[in-house]
Amino acid sequence: MMCNTVRAFAGLLLANLIANGTGGVPPPRVQPVRVTRVANVDGTFSPDGKLIAFASNRQSANPSEYDIWIANSDGSYPRPLNAGAGTEETPMFSPDGKRVAYASDRSGNSDIYIRNVDGSGVIRLTDDSADDIHPMWTADGTRILFNSSRRARNSQDPEIFDVYEIHPDGSGLHQLTRHEGVTTYASLSPDGHTLLFRRLVGDNSEVFVSAPDGSHPKNLTNDPGFDGWPVFSRSGKKIAFVSSRTSGSGSEIFVMDSDGSNLVQLTHSGMRSFAPSFSLDGRRLLFTQSGNGIADLFILDVPMSE
C-alpha cells in the first residue's frame, strides 16, 4: 500500500508532467467561479438623458432582492433611491425628471409607488391583494399606466393581467383593457391615441397596439418566437421590443416603425437582451443583457433617424 509521502510525490510528479505537456494527459478544463452577485437590470433614461434609474441587488443581503438606484448616464456615481427588505423593480422617470415610479413587493405583494429622485416623498399609489406591476408614465405626466392581476380567477397563478391607469396622487383609478389573458408592459403613445402592450396569444407572446381603451387590437409582430417588452420612442414614431426570433433560447433588441414596418435587429449577442428604453432624442437605447453569469446595463446607438 502506497504511503502518504509516496502518494504525495506521485501526485506532484503527475502535476508537473501535465503542466509541462509531457504526461500525455490533458489538463482538466477549469470553469471560472463567479465571486460577485451584483446584477443591474431594468434601466431607463431620465428625460434629459443625464441620469439612469435601474434595479440592482448590490446592497441586498439576498441576491434575489433588488432596490432602485440612480446613476449618471455613464453608470458613474450610483446611489440608492431606496433600500430595505423585498424587491423593487421597473423604475420609470416622470416626464419632468423629478420623480420615479416603480413596483415594490415590500408590503407582501407588488404595488405601485412613486418618490422623488432624491428618495424623499414616497407615495403608495395602489394597495390591492393582486399584483400591480410595470408602471409607465403618460407623456403629459398626469397618469401612470400599470398592469394588474386583480381580475384573475386564481390568485395563486394569475392568468389575467389588464392595463389600468391612475393619477400620481393615487386618485382616478381606471381600468383600460378587459382582455381574457395576459396583457403587460403597456404604454400610451405621446399623442395619447395608441396603447402599446405585450399580449399572450395562446402560449406565444406578441406586441400589439390598440385604441387607448384596448379596443381594435392589432398584432404588430405575429411571429412564432417570443416578442415582448415593447416601448415607444419619445416621438412615438418608433417601437423597440425584444424578440427570440433569431436567437433560439436568447433574445435580441429590435426596432420598428410604430405601424410594424421597417423591422431592424439592433443586437446580435446570442445572450438575453431585454427591457429597452429610448433616450429623449431616440438615438440611443438603454437595455439589460444577461447570460454567462452576468446581468448588466448596456447602451447602444440606434442607426436610424426619427
CB 91 within 8 A of CB 109: no
Nearest to 228 by CA among 240, 237, 246, 215: 240
**111 half-sphere exposure, CB direction, 13 A CA radius:** 15
Q: pLDDT per residue over 108-135, tens digit each?
A: 889 999 999 999 999 999 999 999 999 9
> Can you give the pLDDT at residue 5?
36
CA distance 176 to 208: 15
- The answer to whether residues 255 and 302 touch, using CB atoms and an 8 Å cutoff, is yes
Continuous segment of H or E residues that includes residue 165 = strand 162-166
Name 247's Cβ contacts closer than 8 Å, sequence gap at least 6: 270
| pLDDT at residue 25, rounded to an integer | 59
pTM: 0.85
* pLDDT value of position 8: 38
Cβ atoms 70, 53 nearer than 8 A? yes
pLDDT in tens, the chain (306 residues): 434 433 333 333 333 433 444 445 555 655 555 455 689 999 999 999 999 999 999 888 788 899 999 999 999 999 999 866 789 999 999 999 999 999 999 888 899 999 999 999 999 999 999 999 999 999 999 999 999 999 887 766 668 999 999 999 999 999 999 988 899 999 999 999 999 999 999 889 999 999 999 999 999 999 999 999 999 999 999 999 999 999 777 899 999 999 999 999 999 988 899 999 999 888 999 999 998 878 999 999 887 655
The domain 36-301 is placed in CATH, from the list 3.30.70.890, 2.120.10.30, 1.10.300.10, 3.30.1330.40, at: 2.120.10.30
Q: Contact at 8 Å (CB) between 141 and 122?
A: no
Long-range CB contacts (within 8 A, 24+) of 198-204: 198/227, 198/228, 198/229, 198/230, 198/241
Backbone angles phi, psi at 7, to 5 degrees: -60, -45
Cβ neighbours for 114, distance < 8 A, ≥ 6 positions apart: 94, 99, 100, 101, 102, 122, 123, 125, 135, 144, 168
Beta carbons within 10 angstroms of residue 235's beta carbon: 15
pLDDT, tens digit (0-9, with 9 covering 90-100), for 223-236: 999 999 999 999 99
